[in-house]
Amino acid sequence: TSSGQAAGEGDEEALLAVVRGLVAEVQPGRRARRVALDSSLERDLGLDSLGRAELLLRLGDAFGITLPEQILAEAESPRDLLRAVERAAPTAAAAKEPRRRAGAEPAVATPEEATTLLAVLDAYADAHPDRRHVLFLTGEGEEEELTYGALAARSRAVASALRARGLGRGQTVGLMLPSGLDYFASFFGILRAGGVPVPQYPPARPSQLEDHLRRQAGILANARARLLITVDAVKPLARLLQARAPELAGVVTPADLAGDQEAAEPPPVAGSDTVFLQYTSGSTGDPKGVILTHDNLLANLRSIGEVLELGGEDVVVSWLPLYHDMGLIGAWMGSLYFGVPLVLMSPLAFLARPVRWLEAIDRHRGTISAAPDFAYSLCVDKVSDDQLAGLDLSRWRLALNGAEPVSPTTVERFAERFAGAGFDGAAMMPVYGLAENSLAVTFPPPGRGPRIDRVRRQALQREDRADPAASDETAVIRFVSSGQPIPHHQVQVVDEHGAELPERRQGRVRFRGPSATSGYFRNPAATHRLVREDGWLDSEDLGYLADGELFLTGRAKDLIIRAGRNLYPQELEEAVGELPGVRKGGVAVFATAGAEEGGERMVVVAESESRTGEAAEELRGEVAGLCSDLVGSAPDEVLLVPPRSVPKTSSGKIRRSTARELYLQGRLGAGPRAVWWQLARLAVSAVPGRLARLRRGLGERLWSLWFWLVFLLVAPGGWAWVVLLPGRGLRRRAARMLARLVAGLSGIEVRGRGLEHLPRRGPVLVAANHQSYLDAFVLTAALPPRFGYVAKDELRGNPFTRLPLARLGALFVERSAPEKGGEETARALQRLRDGDSLVIFPEGTFQRQPGLMPLRMGAFVIAARAGAPVVPVAIRGTRSILRGGTRMPRRGGALVVASEPMAAAGDRWEDAVALRDAVRRRLLELTGEPDLGV
C-alpha cells in the first residue's frame, strides 16, 4: 500500500541516520564517508564486529525492536539491517510511543562539496553512471565513448592491478600515453590506488628518441617513479630507463593492467594530498615537478567556473595533449568537474589537418574550446576556402587562447578569417595561466573580445613604461590583455627589488591564491626562487597592469638587452616567421654572451628550405633588415636551419633556452642521428647505472639469503625449546632470547625507548601499530617476557605456529566471524582479570604503504571493562625491512617506543571510544607516519 511504502521510506531514512551517527562517533576527524544502503559495513564504513554490535543496540533503541544476534554475522550492509528491522516485532514500550524519525538522507555529494578529484568522479558515477563523459575521435574516423560509470569501473581495475604490483600510498607513477580512453582509466587508477600520476609525453619521432628518453628518464628519476605506464614501443627500452631512474621497478602498458582484478581496499585520499606532479618544460638536468594537491586543483576549477558560467548546454571540444596542463586540467578535468561532455581528438590529428578541430566543433555543437596561440594561426594559414565554406562555428562562445603572450595579429586574423563561418570575434578569450597555479591565473570577461593595447616602443624598451600611443604613432608595440585575476586569487607586478609597481610600469608578474603550488618536487633551489618570503610566487614572466588587467610582455629569462633597451623575442619571431622562405612557427630569437663585458649577442634562428647559395644570403639580409627596422637593432647572426630543428615544448611554444644550448654546442640544425646510433649511445651511457644497480641488488639478495639461513638454523631448535620447556614464564624468556639471537646474527639492530613506562605488575594491554610480519618478532626481542599475543585464528590451523603460540599464552581470535565477537571479548576480558598481560595490533592487519589505519574497538572495550591500562607502543623500521607482499627482507634496524599508560574514564562504550582515540593520537605522534584514517 501507499502508506506501507511511505513507512518503508521513513525506516530507510531513520536507519541511515543511526549508521551515520555511529560512523562519525567511531571515526572522529575522518573525512566524511557517504553512507548508502549498499555500503559495506566493514570495508566502506569501517565498523568492526564490536562496532556492529553497538549499531544493533542503537537500532533497537531507535526503532523500539530487538534484533537477533545472528544479524551480526549475516548483515554486510545497511540494506541487510533494514530488512532485519522490517522483520523484527516492536517491543511493548515501542507500541506505546511514536517511532522516532531522523532527518532525510542528504543528496549525493555534488562537485561543490567534493574535496578530491576522485570524489568528483564517484559523485557523477553514482548519480549518472550511463551519461557520456568523453567521446574520443580516433584517427580512423571512429568514435569511442566513455561514461562516468565505465571510467570509475575501469579505474578500479587499474588500481587493483597497480596495488598487486606493489604500488604504495604516495608513490609516483609515470604516465607516458597518447590521448585516448586508456589515459583516463590509468590516471584515475593511479589515484585510486593511492599513487601520484606524473604525466609525460610519449616519443613523437624516432629522430628525437635519444633526447626524449634522456629527458623523460630524468623526470622519472626526480619523481622517484615506482612504475611507468606507457605504450608498447617504449616497453622494450625499460632497462635503459631503469638504469637512469633507479627506483623504477617496472614498465607496463594499459593492457597489462586491464581485466578483472580482485578489488582492493582503496587508501583514503584527502584534499591536501598530491593529485599529480606537473613537470614544466625545462632542461633535463633540472626537472621541475610542480606539486599540485586536490585542494589546489579544485580551487582553480571552481574559480574558472565562476568566470565562464558553464551550463548544461555546453560541450567542450579539444585536441590538446593530456600530458600538458591546458589539455589535462582545462579540457578534461574542467569538463569532468562541471559535468560537461568532452569531445577529444589526438593532437596529431589536428596537426595533420587543422580543419578537423573546427569540424569537430561544428559537428558536435561545441561551445568551449581552448588552444595555444599557434593553433589559431595555423588554422588561418591551413584551412582552405572550400573547407571554410562548410563550417558553422556560430555556437562557439568561448575560444580560449593561452600563450605568453598572445599575438594581437593572430586574434585579429582568426576573427576576420572565420567570421564567414559564424565565428563571433567577441568569443576570443586571451587568457594567462601556468602550472605553478594549477592552470588559470587571469581571465578576461567572457564575450567581450580581445583588448589590444598600443604602447610607445621607446618608453617601454628604455624605461619599462607602457605609455599609451596615439592613433597616428607608428613606433609602437602591441600587447593583448589577459584579463583580471580569477576569483579568490591575486596578481601584482614588482621591480627587481620586489617593490610593487604602479599601473603601466613593466616588471615581474607575481601571483598567489588557493590554486598556487607549495613548490617543486625534490628541487629546493627552484622552489626557493619560485616562492617568496611574503607568500607571493614569481612567475618569471614580464608584464604590466592597466585598468586592473594584466598585459604580458614576455619571459624575463628570454628578454634581450642591447644598448640599454629591452628587446622582445616573440615580436621578432612572429615578424620573421611571415617572411617568404621562412617556416612559420619555426623561428627562435635569443641572446648569448658577447665579447664585451655585459654585452649580449642577438641570434635569430629560422627554419627554411633555402640554407645555401644566393637565396640563403638574400634571406639572411631580409631577416637582418626586418629586425633593424622593427626594433632598431640588427642581429649579430642569422642561422638558417632545416625544418623541425627549432625545439618546442609539448604545447608548441619555442624553447629558447634549449635552442641557445644547442647553438652553443654547435648542434642546432644538425641532422638527426640514426635511431640505432641513438639507442647505442643510450645503452652505453646506461652501463654505469646498471652496474651500480646490479651491485646493490646482489648485496640485498645475499643479505636476504643470510637472514633466512639464520632463521632456518635457529628455528627448529627454538621451536622445540619453546614447546618443551615447563612453565609459561620460562618459555617466554626463552622466546625473547631466541628473538634476540636471530636479530644479532642477522644484523638487525633492535632498540627500545621508553620501556620504563611499562607497568611491572598487574595486567597491561599493549596496543602496537602494525607494519610487517616482523612486528611480533621485534616486540618479543624488545619487551619484557610477560606478554602474550592476540593472534589471528588462521595461525591455529598450522601445527608449526599453533603449538609454540599456545604454549606462550597466545589468545586466538576469529576476525571473519562477527558473531563470535562477544565470545572473544569475554575470553580476553577474563585473561586480563586473571592478571595476564596481552599485546594486540588494533589495526587488525598491515599494508605496504606507510600510515596508521583506523583502530578496531575490541582492545579498548576490553581494557575499559577490565580497568586495565593501555600502553601505546610504536614500531618503526620493520616495514622497510620486510614489506607486505614480499618474502625478501632488506637490511635495516627497528625501534620500539613505549609511551605512558592510558586508562579509560569508565567502562561504557563512549569511554572505550575516547580511550581508542587517545591511543591512536599518541601512536600517530610516535610513528610519524601519515594518518590513513583521514
Q: Which residues have CB under 8 Å from 22's CB, separation 6+?
A: 47, 51, 54, 55, 58
Mean pLDDT of the chain: 85
pLDDT at position 683 is 67
- 98-112, 493-507, 620-634: least confident range: 98-112
Asked if 865 contacts 829 with a C-beta cutoff of 8 angstroms, the reply is: yes
**120 has pLDDT over 90:** yes
Is pLDDT larger for residue 562 or for residue 646?
646
Cell numbers linked to 638: 642569422
Strands 484-485 and 476-480, bridge-based pairing? unpaired
Do residues 858 and 50 touch, judged by C-beta distance below 8 A? yes
pLDDT at 47 over 90: no
pLDDT of residue 108: 33
pLDDT-derived band at 890 (thresholds 50, 70, 90) equals confident
pLDDT of 884 > 80? The answer is no
For residue 393, pLDDT over 50 is answered with yes
Kindly tell me the number of DSSP H helices and DSSP E strands found in the chain: 31, 33
Identify which of 693, 698, 742 has the alpha carbon closest to the alpha carbon of residue 717.
742
Average pLDDT, integer, range 641-650: 81
249-277 mean pLDDT? 84
Segments in 787-857 forming alpha helices (H): 799-807, 821-833
Contact criterion met (CB below 8 Å) for 855 and 913? no
Given a contact cutoff of 8 angstroms between Cβ atoms, the answer to whether 481 and 456 are in contact is no
pLDDT number for residue 681: 64
Per-residue pLDDT band at 481 (split at 50, 70, 90): very high
- What is the percent of the chain where pLDDT is above 70? 87
- Tens-digit pLDDT profile for residues 794-804: 788 787 888 88
Which of 181, 169, 215 is CA-nearest to residue 849? 169
Residue 197 CA from chain centroid, whole number? 5
What integer pLDDT is reported at residue 856 of this predicted model? 87
Q: How far apart are CA 544 and CA 505, in angstroms?
A: 6
Is the confidence at residue 782, as pLDDT, over 90?
yes
pTM for the full model? 0.64
State the DSSP code for 354: T
Specify burial of residue 206 (Cβ count, 10 A radius: 0-12, 13-18, 19+).
Answer: middle
- What is the DSSP-derived secondary structure letter of residue 729? H
Phi, psi of 398 (to 5 degrees): -135, 105
Parallel, antiparallel or unpaired: strands 196-199 and 368-371: unpaired
CA dist 397 and 292 (Å) reads: 30
Backbone CA torsion sign across 760, 765, 767, 770:
positive
In this predicted model, what pLDDT tens digit does every residue of 552-588 receive, in sequence order? 998 888 878 776 677 778 888 888 988 998 988 889 9
pLDDT of 410 over the 70 cut: yes
Residue appearing with cell numbers 610566487:
537
Residue 263: the pLDDT is 56
Element (H, E) at 667: none
Output the pLDDT for position 2.
35
- Structure confidence at residue 83 as a pLDDT band (50, 70, 90): confident
The C-alpha atoms of residue 87 and residue 239 are separated, in whole angstroms, by 63
Longest dimension (CA), the chain: 108
Residues 223 and 235: their CA atoms lie apart, in Å, by: 19
Q: Is the pLDDT of residue 55 over 50?
A: yes
Query: What average pLDDT does this structure show over 896-919?
Result: 92
Q: Higher model confidence: residue 28 or residue 55?
A: 55
